[in-house]
Amino acid sequence: MTTAVQQPPAPTPAAESRWLVAARSRELGIAALIVLVFLVTTAYNHDFARPHSIQQLLTGASLIALLGVGETMVIVTRNVDLSVGSTLGLSAYVVGDLFKHQHIPVWSGFVIGVLVGLLIGTVNGFVIAVLRVPSLVVTLAMLYVVRGIDSLIVNGQTIDPDAIPNAFTAVGYKDVLGIPWLAVIVALIVAFFGYAMRSFRSNRDLYAIGSNPAAAELAGIPAGRRVFTAFVISGLLSGLAGALFLSLHAQIDNSGGSGYELNVVAAVVVGGVAIFGGSGTVVGAALGAVLLNTIDQALVASRISSFWSEAIAGGLLIAAIAADRALSLRTARSLRRREGAHREL
């Protein structure tokens, strides 16, 4: 006589969606904090709520949010891309230099910017995914390599506004129904990748890789290919951000994009993307960029030293990392208790 072995119960839909619920709650919390900062600052300085001020808030956060999309895809796989700022700077200068000396068509400026970023992202992805060199080392080295190349190309020169076509700079300063074109473009990109990360299997694999790389490999997920693709997309979006940076500022030198990499990582982590990988959304990263820029502008409007902007951003970054770590430990304990209960059955 054989005894039937009782199988552990299948995970419930509520258990499967716990990360999604947590992500949504983080996004709502960030959105509420943005509104709170905005209202408090407006009460102190009514000019903060003027349409022009709101446009500046959206424009200032747009490029960080765009870079945050690619950074999110990388960080959820337990990697990091520190070359996004230097890639932006090189892309912007290459496009500006071609406008100045080759008089290329306006549309090709964006294509060339994307191609510059695509090349850098491909090199990053190959070294990290194929040669298996840690991403922190590779992208930090790439940051300095690209900065060096940028300095050699620039050679102390500056691309002035009169070299950039008006139709190109219009993308940076014009608006539609009071919303800057730059913010509209970035919002569409965030919406697309937000949908893709939630709906496409290849993008959902990124979360599996970040949650447990060994288990992802055993499950047949092509981890190397997915990580390579994430870095390629990050580079591509950084190149596009470079072209948009040039359209916004209409000038560029070898300092373009300096320090952006740290701002992007801060915005992404504050936006709910776990620095240890496995969870987070591009929408949350974009909201993190808006929050940090709102705080920065609020301090300016309140005539408070800009030092506090960096201090607050650092504090929020530490708090976000601590919260993610606490959540992951709590989840691990919960899973261990559940496994123990299944064994007893």
What is the structure's pLDDT at 269? 92
Q: CA–CA separation, 344 vs 8, rounded Å?
A: 10
pTM of the model: 0.88
Tokens linked to 109: 């400026």
Residue 208 pLDDT level (bands cut at 50, 70, 90): very high
Residue 304 pLDDT level (bands cut at 50, 70, 90): confident
The angle formed by the CA atoms of residues 117, 121 and 122, to the nearest 5 degrees, is 115
Residue 8 pLDDT level (bands cut at 50, 70, 90): very low
Complete domains list, the chain, with CATH = 24-336 (1.10.3470)
Report yes or no: 114 and 240 within 8 Å, Cβ to Cβ.
yes
Q: CA–CA separation, 171 vs 48, rounded Å?
A: 24
Q: Label residue 138 exposed, middle or buried (CB < 10 Å: 0-12, 13-18, 19+).
A: buried
- In terms of Cα–Cα distance, which of 38, 60, 58 is closest to 49? 38
What is the structure's pLDDT at 309? 73
Q: CA–CA separation, 215 vs 74, rounded Å?
A: 18
What is the structure's pLDDT at 339? 64
Report yes or no: 188 and 198 within 8 Å, Cβ to Cβ.
no
- Measuring CA to CA, how many Å separate 76 from each of 67, 94, 108, 296? 15, 31, 32, 27
pLDDT digits (tens, 9 = 90+) for 131-158: 999 999 999 999 999 999 988 888 878 8
Q: What are phi and psi of 188, to 5 degrees?
A: -65, -40
Q: CA–CA separation, 224 vs 24, rounded Å?
A: 29
**Which residues does 247 contact at the CB level (< 8 Å), separation at least 6?**
109, 164, 168, 169, 170, 171, 172, 182
What is the structure's pLDDT at 305? 74
Lowest mean pLDDT among 135-139, 169-173, 191-195, 239-243: 169-173
Lowest mean pLDDT among 105-114, 248-257, 330-339: 330-339
Q: What are phi and psi of 175, to 5 degrees?
A: -140, 165
Q: Which residues pair with 159 in a beta bridge?
A: 252
**Which residues does 184 contact at the CB level (< 8 Å), separation at least 6?**
176
What is the structure's pLDDT at 165? 93
Residue 192 pLDDT level (bands cut at 50, 70, 90): very high
**Which residues does 12 contact at the CB level (< 8 Å), separation at least 6?**
none
Q: Label residue 94 exposed, middle or buried (CB < 10 Å: 0-12, 13-18, 19+).
A: buried
What is the structure's pLDDT at 301? 85
Q: CA–CA separation, 233 vs 114, rounded Å?
A: 10
